[in-house]
Amino acid sequence: MWNQHSYQPGNKQGSLVIIPTPIGNLEDMTFRAIQNLKDADLIACEDTRQTKKLCNHFAISTPLVSYHEHNKRKSGEKLLRLLQSGHTIAIVSDAGMPGVSDPGFELVKQCVENQIPVIPLPGANAALPALVSSGLPTDHFYFYGFLQRDKKTRRDELEYIASIRDTFILYESPHRLKETMKELSEACGKYRQASICRELTKKYEEIIRGSLEELHQWSEKVQIRGEFCLIIEGTGELPEEKDQWWLKLSVIEHIEHYLKEEDMSSKAAIKQVAVDRGLPKREVYQMYHVE
């Protein structure tokens, strides 16, 4: 257990400051974010060229260092040593909140493991503006991010998210949007309501609302440009009590029931338990094979 007091004096180590940056409109940059970027000893960024433009716009002269998906292990080790020696490091992605479908998680995890304060700033992101403008329920929602590219994994993911009770959020790139809308319509049903948000906060911001079938047809007819955030209606249904016979069982016991009583393979049993409990299959796999 570690109780972090973010702003108490006397901390001998540095701090990692998570700073969201605009997803399109530079006016979404906060005063606090600008000041923290100026005060940091170093800015770890996904693309130094992109962040340099932001820094130039706001007269930020703090040195930049590259930290992205392909160098995060080696770069992360160097950044950790600097943090341990008392440096304050700001981490940013090209746009939005670092660590959410962008680099950052691994460095945050290393800081937590080494009891180095991690200070998150609120700010720009695509998911919440897309959600609240969709017209779909917002009291409960599920952020999923990007679907995997591997076809089999993707099929399992679609099967899982199609059963989610609440509104869920996906990110998608322009060159995969048509395929994704087709797959969502097939997996969730063509009448499920959804919205597609394109180029949020930018000049060509567009929000298209309708059924999954209508949105799939729209994607086939237009020229696809920009980054997309998809908001999809959940099933709105709770599992019936009779289907929850497994409630008193642990996840391991639940899997073992299918192995012994239903003569399932471990792969099939894990998949069925994930469906029963509304959990990601990889999480159930981790519980069974690792824990």
- CATH number, span 127-232: 3.30.950.10
User: Over 50: is that where the pLDDT of 241 sits?
Assistant: no
State the average pLDDT over residues 238-264: 78
| Start-to-end CA span in the chain (Å) | 20
The pLDDT tens digits for 135-149 are 999 999 999 999 998
The domain defined by 16-120 folds into: Cobalt-precorrin-4 Transmethylase; domain 1 (3.40.1010)
The pLDDT tens digits for 102-161 are 889 999 999 999 999 999 999 999 999 999 999 999 999 999 999 998 888 898 899 889
The residue written with tokens 């009779």 in the block is 242
What angle do helix axes 151-161 and 266-277 make, rounded to 10 degrees?
A: 30
Residue 128 C-alpha from the chain's centroid: 12
Print burial letters for 244-260: b (CB count within 10 Å at least 16), e (below 16).
Answer: eebeeeebeebbbbbee
Q: Specify the DSSP class assigned to residue 100.
A: S
Q: What is the largest CA-CA distance in the chain?
A: 67
Both structure tokens of 66: 């590259």
Antiparallel, parallel or unpaired: β 228-232 and 193-198: antiparallel
Antiparallel, parallel or unpaired: β 16-18 and 118-120: parallel
State the average pLDDT over residues 194-221: 96
